[in-house]
């Protein structure tokens, strides 16, 4: 049973088209290689896919360039040489014009050449300068606000550190005072002699341990008592 003929037309399905291209391209390259080997023919085959990808085959020993040159000589086809000098000159002239315009604009904004500027251009320049000044001023205020925020955060951090250091110093002073009180109490206890084995260990025990015959000293007035003086005078008269 023979193979059925297919209609030669563009395959609309992209996947089927790519599969068919791969199969037919491989078959075409195989046939070109067989023809070159069997018949000692010089073959140059160039294939571009629909996506622009290049596939080529060239029989040996000549290269693809030699085959193209031979084809040009035999057929008399002339390949036009690309002269890029005109294109380069056009590009250079365009760049020079743009540079000149930029220099003029810079001079105008620096107020170096204002004689050739019309009223409309001056009005437009004034509006652009006002917009630029507003942007610069807004950026300046933004930076100042950031600096103020940084200074405020730094001061708050220093205040917290100072408060923490002060609190730590107060705690140290309080601890030192608590440690010094038992020593002072012990020194006061050591000033009073006691007999026996029992010795008071606190000021409260010291107060209860003082004997009743121990009387504190009483301060005498610097002037004698008037009643005692009168009593002495009566005794002398009698």
Reported as a single tens digit per residue, the pLDDT across 80-105 is 666 677 888 888 999 999 998 888 77
Greater confidence, 220 or 62?
Answer: 62
- CB 58: neighbour CB atoms within 10 A? 19
**Is-contact 35 43, C-beta < 8 A?**
yes
User: Which residues 6+ apart lie within 8 Å of 189 measured at CB?
Assistant: 199, 200, 201, 202, 203, 206
Predicted pLDDT of residue 187: 61
**Is-contact 192 206, C-beta < 8 A?**
yes
What's the whole-number mean pLDDT along residues 108-113? 71
Predicted pLDDT of residue 193: 52
Predicted pLDDT of residue 215: 47
Joined together, the tokens standing for residue 98 give: 């743009």
Q: Tell me the sheet residues that pair with 54.
A: 48
Q: What are the tens digits of pLDDT across the range 164-208?
A: 999 999 888 888 887 766 655 556 556 555 544 455 555 455 455
Is the pLDDT confidence value at 34 over 90?
yes
Predicted pLDDT of residue 238: 54
Is the pLDDT confidence value at 133 over 60?
yes
Greater confidence, 80 or 210?
Answer: 80
What's the whole-number mean pLDDT along residues 26-51? 91
Joined together, the tokens standing for residue 101 give: 């315009």
């Amino acid at each position: 049973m023979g193979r059925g003929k297919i209609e030669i037309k563009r395959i609309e399905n992209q996947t089927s088209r790519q599969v068919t291209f791969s199969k037919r391209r491989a078959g075409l390259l195989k046939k070109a290689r067989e023809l070159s080997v069997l018949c000692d023919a010089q073959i140059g085959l160039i294939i571009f896919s629909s996506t622009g990808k290049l596939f080529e085959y060239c029989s040996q020993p000549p290269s693809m360039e030699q085959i193209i040159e031979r084809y040009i000589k035999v057929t008399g086809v002339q390949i036009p040489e690309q002269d890029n000098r005109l294109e380069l000159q056009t590009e250079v002239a365009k760049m020079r014009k743009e540079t000149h315009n930029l220099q003029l604009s810079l001079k105008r904004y620096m107020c170096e050449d204002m004689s050739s500027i019309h009223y409309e251009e001056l009005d437009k320049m004034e509006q652009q300068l006002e917009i630029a000044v507003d942007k610069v001023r807004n950026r300046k205020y933004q930076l100042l606000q950031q600096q103020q925020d940084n200074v405020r955060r730094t001061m708050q951090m220093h205040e917290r550190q100072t408060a923490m250091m002060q609190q730590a110093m107060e705690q140290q002073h309080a601890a030192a005072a608590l440690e010094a009180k038992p020593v002072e109490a012990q020194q006061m206890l050591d000033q009073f002699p006691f007999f026996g084995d029992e010795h008071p260990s606190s000021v409260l025990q010291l107060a209860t341990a003082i004997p009743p015959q121990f009387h504190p000293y009483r301060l005498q007035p610097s002037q004698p008592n008037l009643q005692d003086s009168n009593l002495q005078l009566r005794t002398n008269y009698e």
